[in-house]
Chain A
Amino acid sequence: MHPLFIPAAPKTDPGKESTVTRTTPTVVSEQTVSSTPATRPTSPGVPQAWSAWANRHRQWVFAGPAMVFVAILLVFPLAWTVYLSLTDSSGSVRRAKTFVGATNYANVLTDTARFWPAVGRTVYFTAGALVVEVVLGMLIALLLWKPFTGQAIVRVAIILPLVATPVAVGMMWRLIFDPTIGFANYLLARVGLPPQPWLADQTTALPTLMFVDIWQWTPMVTLILLAGLTALPEEPHEAAKVDGASGARRFWHVTLPMLMPTVVTAVLLRGIDVLKTFDILYATKGLGGGSFHEAETLNVYAYGLSFDYFEYGTASTVLILFFALIVAAVIGLTHRKKVTK
């Protein structure tokens, strides 16, 4: 399989953890000294054989349980979903079903009423939210890069949206964006602008939800980019400064190229989650993404097909295609990451 996330050769990073590695050897040697005599005599006979075996195969003793856990919980549902996608299963998965081959795929891929619009919305939502999050995240990271007083407070301020429960966030914005009693329209009225329908209208609902996602997750991009900026070497920057390059030029020609791998990582991590966004969509627009399906992304559509329509064959087909889309996006970005390195 194509590597999804794992960066190549592990290298010691001169970044934040260096203090940890530097201070600990003393602790370690103390521990080693005290523990050595104790471990040896207490493991005779069979336990020792077991221990020797475990040590020899520690790679799999360590990795095995997690892999088995994931494999069991992942492989069966995946195989089952593939199977259902080839049948006309509906109503109950225990009901008699017929094998229909690729019929579901043909139907779904030619469905211009629900499927393709949902694909379009998923791509639009993801791309739109990601672009703004990266640009805004970068601006904020640059703003916070150099130390200043009150840094700690600002850090806290940008962490809070990140950890807030998405369903609660959805409810909060639902009230703020309420067309009649919401604070958003009150603000607009105060500055003399006409009220907006926000979440209520079929054209403005998705952009409004993008805004909510951007509010909650831009801080994550900021944090990643800040870590990247802090880890950058100083010299090229200084050299450019000496050459008389302006701030903007230095950013564009020196900082940004060096930061590119970090940007791609941020896009990768965020991208997967934006594609799979569910909580805020469901909390604000409900099943089907509103009366005109205006907020129905692939994830919401698949949930509705399963839990509202009882159409398991079609639901499974959509899920498999959705899964393929995510994996393709991840592989594409991982490839891009390699190129930028």
Chain B
Amino acid sequence: MTRRTVTSLLRAIGIAVIVIGFLGPIVWMILASLKTNVDIYDPSKVLLFRPTTANYATVFGQSQYIDYVVNSFVVAAISTAASLVIAVPAAYAMARFLMRKSANLVLLARVIPGVSLLIPWYYVFSNLKMVGGYFVLILAHMFVALPLIVYIMMSFFEQLPEELEESGQVDGLTPIGAFWRITLPLAAPGIATSTILAFIFSWNNFMFALVLSSAQTKTLPVAIFDFIGYASIDWGGLMAASVVVTVPIMAIALFTQKYIVTGFTAGATKG
């Protein structure tokens, strides 16, 4: 065997190990969600077992799981949309006018520990009688989404040449018109990236929902938690509940992986 084939063989093994390492636990969780508790308590039945959908019946039967799915979706969709509306123009202005101090203020929101926000927020909004429904929860999720979108979009806008807008203005567009008609369409991939990532982060958020959601607005990550403590630990049901919360987001990720990669790597390769 030549050195080259040895190298590429080693590389293939390395890649296989990576795939198994990262995917294995997820596959294992899905398998566990299809087992009876008796099979779960016998670790030797990793692959050989009689699959059952009983755990999913428990998940969807016992509580208002469908409502939680809807809640998660509504909160994620609205907080993402509302954040986009105010974050995209802001990112543009901050990138174009080099407003670094302003950008840092917004990004400070990403740094502050969430625990310090919960009680003050509720205190204020409750006294303003604005705590019914999804309101405070959406606000909290926007607080996460906004800096994320600003961060991603700034790196996009910085890469768009200014000349295009200027030529638009020569053609008679106002500066805002030029932003609306020229820059924004060009930034579409960035907006898609921001949308997907903001949605995922909102969907996965746990701490804010734990404290700020009500029984009617409870989201999925909190619903998973309810699965423990109601009765003794039902591992099969717990795994099924975990699959229900992760699978939709993984499905989205599968179809939009290009954008997700762009989002996670935004701004990373600049000097």
Contacts and interface: CB of A to CB of B under 8 A. Distances in A.
Pair from one complex: yes
Interface of A: 1-7, 10-13, 15-17, 20-21, 24-25, 27-29, 31-33, 35-36, 39-40, 51, 54-55, 58-67, 69-71, 73-74, 76-78, 80-81, 93, 140, 143-144, 148, 150, 153-169, 171-173, 175-176, 181-183, 185-186, 215, 219-220, 223-224, 226-228, 231, 261-262, 265-266, 269, 272, 276, 278-279, 282-283, 298-299, 302-303, 306-307, 312, 315-316, 319, 322-323, 326-327, 330, 341
Contact of A63 (B41, B93, B268): B93
A182 B23 CA distance: 18
A261 B40 CA distance: 46
Given A70-B106, A276-B114, A223 B119 contact: no
A115 B42 CA distance: 41
B185 A31 contact: yes
Interface SS majority for chain A: helix
Contact of A77 (B110, B121, B181, B264): B121
B174 A39 contact: yes
A235 to B, nearest CB: 17
Contact of A326 (B97, B106, B113, B158): B113
Nearest to B10: A143
Interface centre among A17, A25, A164, A186 (most CB of B within 10 A): A164
A39 B86 contact: no
Given A12-B159, A74-B143, A330-B111, 8 more contacts: A4-B108, A11-B158, A70-B146, A156-B254, A158-B22, A165-B220, A182-B43, A306-B119
A3 B93 CA distance: 17
Contacts of B42: 181
B5 to A, nearest CB: 14
Interface in B40-68: 40-44, 46
B86 to A, nearest CB: 4
25 contacts: A11-B270, A29-B167, A31-B185, A55-B174, A58-B93, A62-B92, A64-B90, A66-B106, A67-B102, A70-B108, A93-B123, A159-B261, A161-B26, A164-B204, A167-B204, A172-B29, A176-B25, A181-B42, A182-B43, A220-B264, A266-B268, A272-B110, A303-B115, A322-B113, A323-B111
A4 B26 contact: no
Given A63-B90, A77-B116, A173-B25, A12 B270 contact: no
Interface string B84-106: 00110110111111111111111
B235 interface: yes
B177 A39 contact: yes
B221 A165 contact: yes
A35 B177 contact: yes
Contact of A176 (B28, B116, B147): B28
B216 to A, nearest CB: 20
B94 to A, nearest CB: 6
Interface string B210-244: 01000000001100110000000001001101110
A227 B265 contact: yes
A315 B173 CA distance: 54
